[in-house]
Structure 1
Amino acid sequence: MRFLLFLTGRHRTPLINRVLGLLLAFNAGAVNAGGFLVVHMYTSHMSGFVSTLADNLVLGNMTLVLGALGALLAFTSGAAVTAIMVNWARQNQLRSGFALPLLLEAALMLVFGLLGAITLTWHTLFSVPLTVLLLAFIMGLQNAVVTKMSSAQIRTTHMTGVVTDLGIEIGKMLYWNRSGTLPAAQVRANHARMRLYGSMLGMFTLGGLVGAAGFKHIGFIWIVPLAAGLLALSLPPLAADLERLRVIWRARVSRRPHLHS
């Protein structure tokens, strides 16, 4: 319990950020791959949606334009909600700032797991099922959590930046420093970063395999264990903040104007 409190608590260290980043990379890979089997879209890939929007604006396919716009707005909204939650918790001196959006993500994943088949038939103004918008919102929530907790050093819902950074470090490792080059001028790979980026890529891939297999053989309900894992991460800091939340609630209630008969 104490370890889980540290993982999503207010006080961050590089090690805690790496561990949480790896766990969430696994979760994102599972949701992304499993979601593709359901809605035939990778709902964490905003670059693809931007390209879809631009291409189909030119081609005049407004149905696909609306779908891409809906996914972009949902992802952006998820990131914005995370920022609101984290900053509200910070201003109220809570330890659960990063746990709050993860709790919301877990709840929405449970909705997807329990009602996913139904939401596939709920069409929206954006010409895509509600499921697509829900998954994009979830990925926006999660990506913003990791971005804020690691000061934008770690991303978990897409691997483009991770693979790029890994390639840069590999290039440094393979670089030939000529003899006589001063040590300060030599090109050296950062092996700690290489391990981090390689681990992130591996966990995302493993999550994708597990998620795809689960959705293929079990169905929507497979996401429930993933949601339970997020609940386990988010509840300890929230439990530690219960008394502080009661104080905040009492203070807000006491400031409300009372009606006198």
Structure 2
Amino acid sequence: MTVHPRHLLQLAAGQRDEWTNRHLAYLLAWVAGVLNSVGFVAVGFYTSHMTGIVATVADQLVLGGTHLVLFGAVALAAFILGAMACALQFNWARRRHRRDRFALVLFVEAVLILIVGGLAEEVTWAHREWLIVATLGFVMGQQNALITKVSNATIRTTHITGMVTDIGIELGKMTYLKRPGDPDPVRGDPHKLLMLSILVALFFVGGVLGALGYLAIGFPVLLVPAALLLLVAVPPLVGGRLPLAEHVP
């Protein structure tokens, strides 16, 4: 998969097509992998895994783990608030026919990641892990809501369970025995299978690089995904006040 730098600048543009949607999802899956991994290595808590977080809260309520219950509740609330913030920002820009509606969300996400990456090492507060989990959870909610909006709910960037399930479904369709003359043959979608496989792979690669980077230099490793998001978000923001005539979702 090769992305020309000029195309990278178009990923958050108001005018969308399948190419920009898919490649924006690839970038965000990688970013999610980095953030998730850094969050876990730094404070021992995943920030994108809502299924696991809800399960942890339920388990620890029974087992008496008050700290983990509160930790999970903060992460869950932050994720929801991030998704809410994405919807508010997006619809505010959509109502004003701005073509930076996607870039606006990415810019806020980039700034938050930049703050964590640049300042977290300097925070001496004994419970800074709460702030880190809340911020990363908020960002995860933002970007997952954004790609959901962009793709009409056909792509996620943090929900690996759903993507792996879809991979299994497509593989099942592709290996299903075809019957001659079947008026409704079962057909797999190789392009969808490839996209899902790339998303999962990029989340994994982001996780590996995030863990290695954090162990090597700490929170400043987050400056890399923040810089990439800014590179994608800033160009549409520069001309974002101009109205977008085309219909976008």
Q: Which amino acid aligns with 1:145?
A: L
> 1:154: which partner in 2?
155
Query: Does the 8 A contact of 2:111 with 2:226 survive in 1?
Result: yes
> 2:194: which partner in 1?
195
From 23, 34, 37, the equivalent of 2:41 is 37
Q: Which amino acid aligns with 1:92?
A: R
Counterpart CA distance in 1 for 2:102 and 2:242 is 18
TM-score normalized with structure 2 length = 0.90
Query: Does the 8 A contact of 1:30 with 1:208 survive in 2?
Result: yes
Aligned length: 239
> 1:247: which partner in 2?
none
Comparing 230-239 and 206-215, the one that deviates more: 206-215
Counterpart CA distance in 2 for 1:88 and 1:10 is 14
Counterpart CA distance in 1 for 2:187 and 2:124 is 50
Deviations 1:33-52 (A, max 9, x none): 12211011111001111111
Q: Which amino acid aligns with 1:150?
A: S
Determine which structure has greater relative contact order: mean sequence separation of CA pairs < 8 Å that are 6+ residues apart, divided by chain length. Answer: 2
Deviations 1:146-193 (A, max 9, x none): 111111111112311111101100111111123x342x3221111111
> 1:138: which partner in 2?
139
> 2:207: which partner in 1?
208
> 2:218: which partner in 1?
219
Counterpart CA distance in 2 for 1:208 and 1:137 is 18
Q: Does 1:109 align with 2:110?
A: no
Counterpart CA distance in 2 for 1:214 and 1:71 is 23
Counterpart CA distance in 2 for 1:95 and 1:10 is 4
> 2:164: which partner in 1?
163
Cα shift at 1:63? 2.2
Q: Which amino acid aligns with 1:160?
A: T
Deviations 1:15-41 (A, max 9, x none): 110011001111111111122110111
Aligned residue runs from structure 1 range 1-261, under 5 A: 3-4=7-8, 6-119=10-123, 121=125, 123=127, 129-178=130-179, 180-182=180-182, 184-242=183-241
Residues 5, 218 of structure 1: CA spacing in aligned structure 2 closer, same or farther, 3 A cutoff? Answer: closer
Unpaired runs of 5+ residues, structure 1, are 245-261
> 2:246: which partner in 1?
none
Counterpart CA distance in 2 for 1:122 and 1:9 is 41
Query: Does the 8 A contact of 1:121 with 1:129 survive in 2?
Result: no
Counterpart CA distance in 1 for 2:197 and 2:124 is 35
- RMSD (Å) for aligned C-alpha atoms: 1.8
Cα shift at 1:58? 2.1
Counterpart CA distance in 1 for 2:240 and 2:184 is 49
Deviations 1:197-250 (A, max 9, x none): 111111111111211111111211111121010000000110012567xxxxxx
TM-score normalized with structure 1 length = 0.86
Query: Does the 8 A contact of 1:120 with 1:131 survive in 2?
Result: no
Q: Matched residues, percent identical?
A: 44
Counterpart CA distance in 2 for 1:75 and 1:136 is 5
Cα shift at 1:3? 3.3
Counterpart CA distance in 1 for 2:82 and 2:98 is 21
Cα shift at 1:6? 3.2
Cα shift at 1:78? 0.5
Counterpart CA distance in 1 for 2:153 and 2:101 is 16
Query: Does the 8 A contact of 2:103 with 2:233 survive in 1?
Result: yes
Deviations 1:40-97 (A, max 9, x none): 1111001111111111222233222111111110000001000000000000110111
